[in-house]
């Protein structure tokens, strides 16, 4: 589903962000990406949703090499790769329902499609009751749920999460990760960058550790933050 082969990224200022990355994440798999700040976690995620192109190597997403994808094709890739962030990135002047529907609006979904898909997405994240609430009326955990609903409403094959629990307290973080696990079980591939040792140790999922832009450990069968 996600397949990186010999990928390196060198920034224009000469900084080497990633070198010789080989990584494969299968359909429905849930993998944590761990490492200190500056280890290359975010750079790797950027490659998956084509925010960045690699200096070297191939990146195959759902069977398609996206490294050489022409600019005008990038939006179509993004419809297949949902992204969530630490800061939720919701639109403050739109309520929950509208925030989720926004992802459908911009890809030209019909009204009928919106009224079918938005309630399903909100139900999946457990926010059906709050669809009329605005982001400032929601807790951090609820806001992250809205952003997950928005990322999933187009039914992407892949969900990329960049520190999704970074702004949340431990209990809420745990709920969000449980929600992501549930989503993976439905067949969505999830790549989740995190600093959260407790969560990683508690989940015993696959852990890919990055140090200085290279993979130093890939606990495929499940592991903790530091140890297999």
Measured CA to CA, the distance from residue 69 to residue 208 in angstroms comes to 26
Q: Which of 27, 36, 53, 106 binds another protein (CB under 8 A)?
A: 106
Helix, coil or strand: residue 149: helix
Q: By CB under 8 A, tell whether 77 contacts another protein.
A: yes
| Stretch of 6-14, 148-156, 173-181, 193-201 contacting another protein, by CB under 8 A | 148-156
| Cβ contact 149:122 at 8 Å | yes
Residue with Cβ nearer another protein (89 or 130)? 89
Name residue, tokens 């960058």.
Answer: 193
Going residue by residue from 14 to 53, which x/- string records binding to another protein, judged by CB under 8 A?
-----------------------------------x----
Q: Which of 52, 58, 63 is closest to 23 using CA atoms? A: 58
For residue 198, the number of C-alpha atoms closer than 13 Å in the C-beta half-sphere is 10
Helix, coil or strand: residue 170: helix
Q: Binders of another protein among 150-169, rule CB under 8 A?
A: 150-151, 154
Q: By CB under 8 A, tell whether 63 contacts another protein.
A: no
The residues facing 226 across adjacent strands are: none
Positions that interact with another protein (CB under 8 A): 49, 71-72, 75-79, 82-83, 89, 91, 102-103, 105-111, 114, 150-151, 154
């Amino acid at each position: 589903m996600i397949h990186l082969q010999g990928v390196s990224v060198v920034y224009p200022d000469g900084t080497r962000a990633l070198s010789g990355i080989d990584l494969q994440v299968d359909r429905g798999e849930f993998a944590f990406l761990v490492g200190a700040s500056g280890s290359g976690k975010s750079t790797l995620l950027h490659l998956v949703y084509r925010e960045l192109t690699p200096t070297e190597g191939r990146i195959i997403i759902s069977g398609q090499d996206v490294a050489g994808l022409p600019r005008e094709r990038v939006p179509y890739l993004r419809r297949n790769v949902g992204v969530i962030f630490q800061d939720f990135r919701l639109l403050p002047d739109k309520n929950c329902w509208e925030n989720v529907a926004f992802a459908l609006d911009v890809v030209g979904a019909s009204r009928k499609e919106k009224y079918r898909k938005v309630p399903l997405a909100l139900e999946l994240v457990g926010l059906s009751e709050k669809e009329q609430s605005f982001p400032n009326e929601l807790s951090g955990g609820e806001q992250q749920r809205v952003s997950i609903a928005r990322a999933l409403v187009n039914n992407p094959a892949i969900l990329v999460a960049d520190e999704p629990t970074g702004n949340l307290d431990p209990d809420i973080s745990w709920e969000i990760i449980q929600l992501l696990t549930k989503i993976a079980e439905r067949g969505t591939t999830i790549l989740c960058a995190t600093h959260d040792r407790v969560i990683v140790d508690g989940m015993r999922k696959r852990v890919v550790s990055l140090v200085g832009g290279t993979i130093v450990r890939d606990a495929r069968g499940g592991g903790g933050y530091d140890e297999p």
